[in-house]
Structure 1
Amino acid sequence: MKKLIFIICIFCIGLNYSQNIMSFDEVIDNNGFFKDGYHIKDTKNELDKFVGTWKGSFMGNSYEFRIEKQLKYNDGYFFLDKLFIRSLIKDINGTTLLNTITTPLEDLYFKGRKFTSKNYDNYLLMYIEDMKCNLQGDVYFTIFENNTKIKVELFIPFNIVSKEECPDINKHSLLPQKRQNEFMILTKQ
């Protein structure tokens, strides 16, 4: 009898969790809203076209992005299939400006958020480079040319930052800023 009750409990728990899956389509249809505990799942493998090594240049710096897909990543209140980016950025002399190739997922500057439309060509990521100096915002990835190129743009919201909070107040992000009509093209390797 105890075994039967145990099996029924396991079945009910499994059934409960299996009903808490939403596809990217459903999230877009619901304007990005979903309930806590849900798993936002890449049911059509739309993230896969972004996965791989991508290279490009911007303002004399060379960029290498290693994009990986993480399944059922725990975002606190829900689970999400999302992209993470490990990056290696060097200046024109080959000096490393940023290297997150071996950085743990939780500490990466780029963390995936969502697709912005059902054509799945536009993906939005959260970017945090330096919170004190407001070098944070949304990174827009637009994939094109048969999934071989990505246009990268950073949108940093206007926030007032004081010289006391950020001694290097004129610091510029390593990424192209959408507000200044800057962008970068990465090519899949």
Structure 2
Amino acid sequence: MTRHILLINGPNLNLLGRREPHIYGSTTLADVEAQAHAQAASLDISLETFQSNHEGAIVDRIQEAAGWGLTAKSLDAPSSAESDGGEQSKNNSNRPDRVSAIVINPGALTHTSVAVRDALLGVNIPFVELHVSNVYAREPWRKHSYFSDKAVAIICGMGAYGYTAAIEFAARHMKLEEVD
């Protein structure tokens, strides 16, 4: 049995390192994921990463994290972008039915998605909300989050290092359940 963390990245985070580097930095999502996998291995944690620009795909993956909604297609999904929507999921072949914790950077869905919020609340898996930029130092509408009041922790404004902090927190400070 091992502890398992799911790292979810929402819309436009596939553009990290290219999109507005003065705000989001020059570290790519591939760099973030590689570092996260190395960190998880050093902490004896299983880590899966998932990115989608589609709200419904994120809702589906959150439900799958609880062992619900699993389909043959989702279990056999390729580790690179799928042809039907660009979702990326890594390490699917060894994926457990349920994860211990979720680290989520919802991107723009932070300010709009009741559906993702409801999915997170519905699965009852503890989660950390993560943002690369300091959303409180940006446009006024970015200060509202549909997730912050339910997150175990919120990390923002630390750039790509925020991912390291979020995984460290999830691995060491959250009560993670063991999964098969």
Instruction: Calculate the TM-score normalised by the size of structure 2.
Output: 0.27
Instruction: Calculate the TM-score normalised by the size of structure 1.
Output: 0.26
Decide which structure has greater strand share: 1
Between 1 and 2, higher relative CO (CA 8 Å, sep ≥ 6) is seen in 2
Structure with higher Rg: it is 1
